[in-house]
A and B are shown apart, each in its own frame.
Chain A
Amino acid sequence: DVKVTQSSRYLVKRTGEKVFLECVQDMDHENMFWYRQDPGLGLRLIYFSYDVKMKEKGDIPEGYSVSREKKERFSLILESASTNQTSMYLCASTSRDEQYFGPGTRLTVT
């Protein structure tokens, strides 16, 4: 079974803090993704990576950066957290078509 894990299920941070969300997959997938999920807006792509050290902007990259130093690990960074970044963050990985999702991190910025 494909396993995608995320570093935290719940996270509470203060405005202006630097936030790190980490995602790890164990299936040697080339492609990894970060989404945010908000009611009525579906899953919106923040960034994705198709290889180590490679990254591409998704549809809503503003306020976020990413890092992929190892194939199995893809990190999402909020340089200076703001209240409008309060959301559910989902990581996913794939080698071809089906995307396998992590359990999600519910981030609250106060």
Chain B
Amino acid sequence: GENVEQHPSTLSVQEGDSAVIKCTYSDSASNYFPWYKQELGKRPQLIIDIRSNVGEKKDQRIAVTLNKTAKHFSLHITETQPEDSAVYFCAASNAGKAAGNKLTFGGGTRVLVKP
């Protein structure tokens, strides 16, 4: 089955700096890669996703890049703000393969933005 590894496990950045989280996946058939943000005490929520036919996607201060050959994808947050402090999860799935849209998640990255 799919295996997703996520690094680093914790990341501390100064407000205004950039943050980068990296994930690798094992199943070359995976074609959908979402990122979820979980604020303290709250439920995970989707913040951005990318499909395998696209190399990069941006949404305001966040962007995701995908390298299918190397089987890795990354989340980039620019101009970090205190409200970006949260745990971020990457995930991968083969969206067309099996019923249920099963996701395999990485271990999570705790991001702390210091004012």
Contacts of B108 in A (CB 8 A): 40, 42
Instruction: Indicate if B99 sits at the interface (CB-CB under 8 A).
Output: yes
Cα distance, A45 to B101, chains bound together (Å): 12
- Total number of residue pairs linking A and B with CB closer than 8 Å: 59
Task: Given A42-B106, A43-B89, A58-B102, check contact A97 B32 (CB 8 Å).
Answer: yes
A31 interfacial by beta-carbon distance below 8 Å: yes
Seen from chain A, the residues whose Cβ lies within 8 Å of a Cβ on chain B are 31, 33, 35, 40-45, 48-51, 54, 56, 58-59, 90, 94, 96-99, 101-104
Q: Which label, helix, strand, loop or mixed, suits the secondary structure of the B interface?
A: loop
* Interface size range on B against A: 20 to 34
Most buried by A among B45, B49, B100: B100
- With A40-B107, A97-B49 as contacts: A49 and B43 at CB distance below 8 Å: no
